[in-house]
Amino acid sequence: MLEINNLHVQVAETGIEILHGLDLVVKNAETAAIMGPNGSGKSTLSYILAGHKGYKVTQGDIFYNGQSILGMNPAERSALGIFLGFQYPIEIPGLITMEFLKVAINALRKARGQTELKVPEFINRVKEIAKRLSISMPMLKRPLNVGFSGGEKKKIEILQMSLLDPTFCVMDETDSGLDIDALKIVADGMNRLRSSQCSFLIITHYQRLLDYINPDTVHVLSKGKIVRSGDRDLAVYVEKNGYANIIGVSCG
Amino acid sequence: MLIDRTQAEEAIIENFLNSDSLPNLLFPREMREAAMAAFKEHGFPSRKRESWHYTDLRNKLTRISSYSDDHNDGRPILPLILGNVLFSVVNGKAVSNSVLPPVFCTPLALSPSRALNILRDFSITNVISQVNTAFASDGWRINVQKDVFLDNIIEIQNLQNGGQSHTCFSVSVAEDSRATILERQLGDDQESFLSSVSDIDLAEGAEVLWIIIRERGILSTELNRFYARLDKGARLKLVIINAGLHLLRQEVHIDLNGSRSDFQLRCINLLSGESHADTTMKIRHFARSTTSKEMIRNIATDTSCGVFQGMVQVLPTGQKTDAKMLCQSLILSKDAECHAKPELDIFADDILCGHGATFSTIDRNQLFYLMTRGLTFVQAKAVLVKCFIKEQIEGIGQEDIEKALHGVLDHWLFLHL
């Protein structure tokens, strides 16, 4: 279970506070959606969960399965099972995607006290998931995310998510830049993992993704705080009426 | 004439007085004395000399390792790749060679080598020739005959563990022959001072892949000069990887004398501790339709320093030249530094030339991305460094060589990240 208590976060370089006392609980196997207008702190929340050094927690704490993760670096959080799906996946020229997947899988397996995955088993796993996601094998021989379309990058994120055996996935605007077919494929990838008791925190602007991934809870984030929580109906309401009413009520 | 000599300069001059037994067949005594006279006049160059501006040898070389003209026999090490044809020099003495019928070889101490005289310019900034001519004790002369395609790699070993050595390697590859030459400059952690001069002549249509792997200890100083002359249609690919050393000056001089001759350089400098590695290069396009491409990559950490000075010169006879030069440096610590001075000197009007230099550090976003996938900080950093270097190693066309170069890189990363 993820528990965020009174979290205050600043941009490390400028000292500007982005999150102002955020509280949130995501239970095991729960899928929570975070919605909110631009600049409300959604991406900051995802980065801080993954351990980005560009942000500084000045107050509050984050617990994952009862353990504070604030002192952990991104690799240690990843080993705990926390996965961040990037809004803009990073391009790494020179790093062949397939090689990267192997290094990442085995790094995590080592950190989790498991033995290295043997090459045939690794290839079979990659092939199986790549096929489901309509990712061609030649694409995996290309440098990571270099020259990939927006949709291809997001599919590679889902491929990584599926291979790295996470228990808590933070998906930062995974639906942005996806056509409807790609959206279905990506949603299917997430739903498969959902069925294996993995929790999700899905950050999105639109209800469209939530048509394919039915969230258990929906939270509206504004000015660095959760201002409204509810069920799927809240996402429908936001889609129909926008945020003004919710934010206005909260601020009023 | 120098008024105040440094301790190192005094030591060099004194060493020369004790060098009577050096082989005269390699360089006659008069020539050695002329070289020493030039050294006495100029001393080690300081930053006041333009071509030594970033490598102030006079101040950096505070002392010189002990010298002896009694070069003890040593043993070569195993070849890097099984089947390599070995030409070893250990502690300044040629010690062994394999037999390969289409290759004529002889220790330089036993044969006069007129070709070497071309290098012997004792001008004010050419301290490498001055010191090397004065003290050179041995080396190998290797001639590849005409129309030979060598399957085996010629491996030149220059092993120096402590003290001083001054060696020469003279290679000629006759018309339409192909050869791969692996030069290994190796030494342990003892204090050492070396000069090494390699020169190579490529006749018409000859093709050579020359790889230099340099792994010396952190108390080692090496002054190295590589000089190649390419005839019509000849092709030379030079791959250099430098790791370790306290101080290295690697000079690369290439003359593209024949039309359609081509030179390619890939150089990797792995710098750590207080290492200082200076790659100074001059490519001269004398003939029409000649091509050259140089890619230099520096990785600098701790308080190390990388220097690249590269000049591409196109002479009036070098119309239709196509030349590119790029130096890229990845700086891994706040106290490391790299300097790049790429220059074009053009005297022809129908040419295509370009140069560039970049400096960067590890991309924080890339580092973060990899760490979110479970790679530790060190693993992620190593992956990114390898990505930076990879292009230099891949596509050499010899799998064993690429593997060996990756091995040097991996070892360095293991020690220094």
CB B405 within 8 A of CB B213: yes
pLDDT in tens, B163-210: 999 999 999 999 999 999 999 999 988 899 999 999 999 999 999 999
All structural domains of chain A, each given as residue ranges with its CATH number in brackets, are 2-251 (3.40.50.300)
**Mean pLDDT value across chain A:** 92
Residue linked to tokens 């300044």:
B92
- CB of A12 within 8 Å of a chain B CB? The answer is no
Chain A residues with CB-CB distance to B364 below 8 A: 53-54
**pLDDT above 90 (res A181):** no
Q: What is the pLDDT of residue B273?
A: 95
Please compute, for residue A167, the number of CA atoms within 13 A of its CA located in the half-sphere on the CB side: 13
- Residue bearing the bigger pLDDT, A246 or B305: B305
- Residue bearing the bigger pLDDT, B20 or B392: B392
Q: How far is CA B348 from the centre of its chain?
A: 29
- Both tokens of B19, joined, read 């060098």
Q: What is the pLDDT of residue B21?
A: 82
Among the partner residues B365, B376, B386, nearest to A90 by beta-carbon distance: B365
Strands (E) across chain A are located at: 2-11, 17-26, 31-35, 55-64, 67-68, 82-85, 92-96, 143-144, 168-172, 199-203, 217-222, 225-230
Q: What is d(CA B304, CA B272) in angstroms, rounded to the nearest whole number?
A: 5
**pLDDT level of residue B22 (50, 70, 90 thresholds):** confident
**pLDDT level of residue B25 (50, 70, 90 thresholds):** confident
**pLDDT above 70 (res B343):** yes
Q: What is the pLDDT of residue B293?
A: 98
**pLDDT level of residue B3 (50, 70, 90 thresholds):** low
- For A19-32, give one letter per residue: b (16+ CB within 10 A) or e: beebebebeeebbb
Q: What is the pTM of this model?
A: 0.90
- Both tokens of A116, joined, read 């290295």
Q: What is the pLDDT of residue B70?
A: 66
Mean pLDDT on A82-102: 96
3-state secondary structure of B239: strand
Closest-CA distance of chain B to residue A202, Å: 17
Compute the Cα dihedral for B354, B360, B366, B367 and give only its sign.
positive
Q: What is d(CA A50, CA A243) in angstroms, rounded to the nearest whole number?
A: 27
Please, which residues 98-127 of chain A have a Cβ atom closer than 8 Å to chain B?
Answer: 100, 103-105, 107-108, 111
What ranges do the domains of chain B cover? 7-363, 364-417
Q: DSSP letters along A212-248, please? A: TS--SEEEEEETTEEEEEESHHHHHHHHHH-SHHHHH
**pLDDT above 60 (res B115):** no
Closest CA to B392 of B327, B321, B342: B327
Contact B369 A107 (CB under 8 A): no
Among the partner residues A86, A95, A111, nearest to B374 by beta-carbon distance: A111
CB B147 within 8 A of CB B115: no
Mean pLDDT on A235-248: 86
Smallest CA–CA distance from A93 into chain B, residue: B387
Mean pLDDT on A165-190: 90
Q: What is d(CA B311, CA B92) in angstroms, rounded to the nearest whole number?
A: 31
**pLDDT above 70 (res B116):** no
Closest CA to B229 of B250, B208, B249: B208
Q: What is d(CA B293, CA B329) in angstroms, rounded to the nearest whole number?
A: 17
**pLDDT level of residue A251 (50, 70, 90 thresholds):** very low
Among the partner residues B369, B375, B386, nearest to A90 by beta-carbon distance: B369
**pLDDT above 70 (res A34):** yes
Among the partner residues B364, B374, B386, nearest to A79 by beta-carbon distance: B374
pLDDT in tens, B283-342: 999 999 999 999 999 999 999 999 999 999 999 999 999 999 999 999 999 999 999 999
CB B69 within 8 A of CB B47: no
Query: Which of A69, A73, A117 is the mutation pick for testing B, counting most B CBs within 10 A?
Result: A73
Helix H or strand E segment including B82: none
Closest-CA distance of chain B to residue A104, Å: 6
- CB of A80 within 8 Å of a chain B CB? The answer is no
Q: What angle do CA A197, A200, A203 make, to 5 degrees?
A: 170
CB B210 within 8 A of CB B237: yes
Q: What is the pLDDT of residue B176?
A: 97
Q: What is the pLDDT of residue B60?
A: 93
pLDDT in tens, A40-84: 999 999 999 999 999 999 999 999 999 999 999 999 999 999 999
Compute the Cα dihedral for B19, B22, B24, B28 and give only its sign.
negative
Q: What is the pLDDT of residue B35?
A: 94
Helix H or strand E segment including B46: none
Report the interhelical angle of A180-194 vs A119-132 (nearest 10°). Answer: 130
Closest-CA distance of chain B to residue A4, Å: 19
pLDDT in tens, A121-170: 999 999 999 999 999 999 999 999 999 998 899 999 999 999 999 999 99
Backbone angles phi, psi at A62, to 5 degrees: -125, 125
- Nearest-Å Rg of the Cα atoms of chain A is 18
